[in-house]
Amino acid sequence: MPERRMPVYREFSRTTALTWGAIIGVLWIAMSVTTLVSSVRAYTNDRTGWGLAWMLVGLLLGAAGVSALVGTWWHVFRVARRD
Protein backbone atom coordinates (compact mmCIF):
# COMPACT_ATOMS: atom_id res chain seq x y z
CA MET A 1 0.00 0.00 0.00
CA PRO A 2 1.50 3.36 -0.96
CA GLU A 3 2.27 5.80 1.80
CA ARG A 4 -0.06 8.78 1.97
CA ARG A 5 1.58 12.17 2.02
CA MET A 6 0.10 14.83 4.25
CA PRO A 7 -0.90 18.13 2.70
CA VAL A 8 1.44 21.02 3.39
CA TYR A 9 -1.04 22.81 5.65
CA ARG A 10 -1.28 19.74 7.91
CA GLU A 11 2.51 19.59 8.26
CA PHE A 12 2.53 23.30 9.12
CA SER A 13 -0.22 22.74 11.66
CA ARG A 14 1.68 19.87 13.30
CA THR A 15 4.90 21.87 13.43
CA THR A 16 3.09 24.88 14.88
CA ALA A 17 1.35 22.77 17.53
CA LEU A 18 4.60 21.05 18.49
CA THR A 19 6.45 24.36 18.71
CA TRP A 20 3.85 26.12 20.87
CA GLY A 21 3.37 23.08 23.10
CA ALA A 22 7.12 22.88 23.67
CA ILE A 23 7.38 26.61 24.38
CA ILE A 24 4.55 26.50 26.92
CA GLY A 25 5.93 23.37 28.58
CA VAL A 26 9.43 24.80 28.85
CA LEU A 27 8.12 28.10 30.26
CA TRP A 28 6.13 26.27 32.93
CA ILE A 29 9.16 24.18 33.84
CA ALA A 30 11.26 27.36 34.06
CA MET A 31 8.68 28.90 36.40
CA SER A 32 8.74 25.68 38.41
CA VAL A 33 12.51 25.84 38.82
CA THR A 34 12.27 29.48 39.88
CA THR A 35 9.69 28.73 42.57
CA LEU A 36 11.64 25.71 43.81
CA VAL A 37 14.76 27.87 44.14
CA SER A 38 12.68 30.36 46.15
CA SER A 39 11.50 27.48 48.30
CA VAL A 40 15.05 26.35 49.04
CA ARG A 41 16.06 29.91 49.91
CA ALA A 42 13.10 30.17 52.27
CA TYR A 43 14.06 26.93 54.03
CA THR A 44 17.64 28.12 54.45
CA ASN A 45 16.32 31.30 56.09
CA ASP A 46 14.09 29.32 58.51
CA ARG A 47 10.85 30.38 56.80
CA THR A 48 9.21 26.97 56.54
CA GLY A 49 5.75 28.30 55.67
CA TRP A 50 7.11 30.28 52.75
CA GLY A 51 9.23 27.32 51.67
CA LEU A 52 6.34 24.87 51.81
CA ALA A 53 4.05 27.17 49.83
CA TRP A 54 6.59 27.75 47.05
CA MET A 55 7.49 24.07 46.99
CA LEU A 56 3.85 23.13 46.37
CA VAL A 57 3.51 25.78 43.66
CA GLY A 58 6.76 24.61 42.07
CA LEU A 59 5.69 20.98 42.05
CA LEU A 60 2.35 21.84 40.45
CA LEU A 61 4.01 24.02 37.82
CA GLY A 62 6.51 21.24 37.10
CA ALA A 63 3.70 18.73 36.67
CA ALA A 64 1.91 21.14 34.33
CA GLY A 65 5.06 21.68 32.28
CA VAL A 66 5.78 17.98 31.91
CA SER A 67 2.13 17.34 31.08
CA ALA A 68 2.22 20.03 28.40
CA LEU A 69 5.31 18.50 26.81
CA VAL A 70 4.06 14.91 26.96
CA GLY A 71 0.52 15.85 25.92
CA THR A 72 1.71 17.85 22.94
CA TRP A 73 4.03 15.07 21.82
CA TRP A 74 1.29 12.46 22.28
CA HIS A 75 -1.25 14.48 20.33
CA VAL A 76 1.06 15.38 17.45
CA PHE A 77 2.63 11.95 16.98
CA ARG A 78 -0.13 9.59 18.14
CA VAL A 79 -3.59 11.11 17.96
CA ALA A 80 -3.17 13.39 14.93
CA ARG A 81 -1.66 10.54 12.88
CA ARG A 82 -4.99 8.70 12.92
CA ASP A 83 -6.75 11.41 10.90
* pLDDT value at residue 80: 63
Mean pLDDT, all residues of the chain: 88
Taking each helix axis from N to C end, the angle separating 8-44 and 48-74, rounded to the nearest 10 degrees, works out to 170
Q: pLDDT band for 79, please (50, 70, 90 cuts).
A: confident
* pLDDT value at residue 77: 84
Total residue length of the chain:
83
User: The pTM is what?
Assistant: 0.79
Q: Are the C-beta atoms of residues 64 and 29 closer than 8 Å to each other?
A: no
Q: What torsion do the CA atoms of 16, 17, 22, 28 make, to the nearest 10 degrees?
A: 120
Please compute the mean of the pLDDT values over residues 37-61 and round it to a whole number: 97
Sign of CA dihedral 41, 43, 49, 52: positive
Report percent pLDDT > 70 for the chain.
Answer: 83
